[in-house]
Structure 1
Amino acid sequence: MTRNAPPRPRLNRDRVLRTAVSFADEVDIDALSMRRLAQELDVTPMALYKHVADKEALLDGMIEVIVGEIDPPLTGADWRDTVRHRVLSARRALQRHPWAREVIESRSRMTPPVLGYLDSVARGFLDGGFSPDLTHHVMHALGGRVWGFTQELFDGSRASASAPAPSPEQQAAMYDQMAAAFPSLAVVASSAAHSGDVVGRGCDDDFEFTVTLDLMLDGFERMRAHGWTSVAALSSVAAGRPAVGAAL
């Protein structure tokens, strides 16, 4: 007597997207294609197009999955804790999926879930007493940091991710060369521990990200408390005064 094979899980959009995310995590985002994803799901490529229109729609949907991993807004907290919590949660989500930053930066349009996340961050500022004008400018100031990432000054990790790590002897020689040619930069770069080595393997660790985020949030609060507006700032610039300093 032949046993019937267990039925395959029903194919739906959520399963397609989560399988794509898992594939990108475990294999590589560059290796992901509609045909390869169909193989992972054991379906024909045409079956996928019932759930995602094309590769771009697939990538949009994968980012929606990542957005769904970001913690919801805090309740009963002040604006600073609310925004800080959301940004750091977004950072943790992207750290679980290292390919997500590249995909986010490649998007030419924003889907409703992405807009919903950005809307919730903006709402955190507005509910905290920020004017729409100031909220507009602080959101620009946050930039990619609202997703938990930033291009750091000493970060060479993205360009050299596939390069072998230098040996301790090579690191020492590189540092000696930098110290001889650029002594001030060498002192600054070697002043604290980083997530990588001192010379060019990446300084964007969680501590540095959080310190910078806290500095920005403190600055935003001072601007809010002093009633900063872009009109006043432009007037200050026209008069030859610092835009922020004049308001504070």
Structure 2
Amino acid sequence: MIQQREVTRRAPLNRGRVLTAAVALADDAGIESLSMRRLAQELGVVPMALYKHVANKEELLDGMVEAIIGEIDPPAGGADWKNAVRLQVLSARRALLRHPWARPVLESRTNKTPAVLDYMDSFVGMFLAGGFSADLTHHVMHALGSRIWGFTQELFDHPNGRTVEADVPEEARAAMFRQMAARYPNIAAIATTAAHDEGSVVGTGCDDQFEFEFALDLLLEGFERLNRQGWTSRRA
């Protein structure tokens, strides 16, 4: 293993190797551990060598997003638009589940790189090919929002990525829940109706696979109905 790593380190440096190493470092140590100096150490080069392939850390992060997009399956050929969109979204979601750091990086990108625009253009194309007007597709993309990347911003996310109850003993948690249920009975009623699989969560909160697919299917059904009705924003 050590010998193989040394061979890899001696391989010529290129942009692909830099991005692959950056993704692997973020996967192993977390995005907060990623720096040009740390990445250079992983690759066995001096930090200045990286700048021949990425101008700065922002460009590195853009490239890492590009690498994640490369893991998303291309649109399903021959499939109807609804199935094609569904498969695309769930493929994007699987990519994000493989790389938990990808969501905050995607959310932080303000620059639409060619890779991002290519993906969005392809995504829009599935609706247009399915007979949707450009007008309806415009509003459909707004409704889907971050779902095209495989995640949603959850209503019940804790700002620090942890729930307050996580550090509280079980008896104290039960007492806290009773107090909350007395004051916020409606929230308590829905909070206890479903169990959430922590392994399926992108980020934190209740966004498990079932809930994600439930919302996605609901949207797709609504889009289909509007398209059949010949919906336009003018008439709306």
Normalising by structure 1, report the TM-score.
0.86
Contact 1:195/1:204 (8 A) holds in 2: no
Which residue is 1:68 aligned to?
Answer: 70
Q: Aligned letter for 2:36?
A: M
Is residue 2:17 matched to residue 1:15? yes
Alpha-carbon shift at residue 116 of structure 1 (Å): 1.2
May I ask how many residue pairs the two structures share in their alignment? 224
Which residue is 2:92 aligned to?
Answer: 90
Is residue 2:113 matched to residue 1:111? yes
Which residue is 1:207 aligned to?
Answer: 210
Is residue 2:32 matched to residue 1:30? yes
Structure 1 residues 162 and 63: alpha-carbon distance in aligned structure 2, compared to 1, 3 A threshold: farther
Contact 1:67/1:113 (8 A) holds in 2: yes
Alpha-carbon shift at residue 75 of structure 1 (Å): 1.1
Structure 1 residues 166 and 121: alpha-carbon distance in aligned structure 2, compared to 1, 3 A threshold: farther
Task: Identify which of structures 1 and 2 has the higher relative contact order when contacts are C-alpha pairs closer than 8 Å and 6+ apart.
Answer: 2
Instruction: Give 3-state SS (helix, strand or coil) of 1:219's partner.
Output: helix
Alpha-carbon shift at residue 120 of structure 1 (Å): 1.3
Alpha-carbon shift at residue 162 of structure 1 (Å): 8.7
Deviations 1:143-193 (A, max 9, x none): 11111111122222x523397444433332232121111111101111111
Q: Aligned letter for 1:22?
A: A
Deviations 1:190-233 (A, max 9, x none): 1111235xxxx621100000000000000011110101111111
Moved over 6 A (4+): none
Q: 1:121 and 1:224 mapped to 2: Cα distance?
A: 17
Unaligned runs of 5+ in 1: 234-248
Q: Aligned letter for 1:220?
A: F
Unaligned runs of 5+ in 2: 1-5, 199-203
Which residue is 2:185 aligned to?
Answer: 183
Q: Aligned letter for 2:156?
A: F
Asked which structure has the greater CA Rg, the reply is 1
Which residue is 1:240 aligned to?
Answer: none
Which residue is 1:238 aligned to?
Answer: none
Which residue is 2:233 aligned to?
Answer: 230
Q: 1:35 and 1:116 mapped to 2: Cα distance?
A: 31
| RMSD (Å) for aligned C-alpha atoms | 1.7
Trace 1:107-186 onto structure 2 (pairs within 5 A): 107-156=109-158, 159-161=160-162, 164-186=166-188
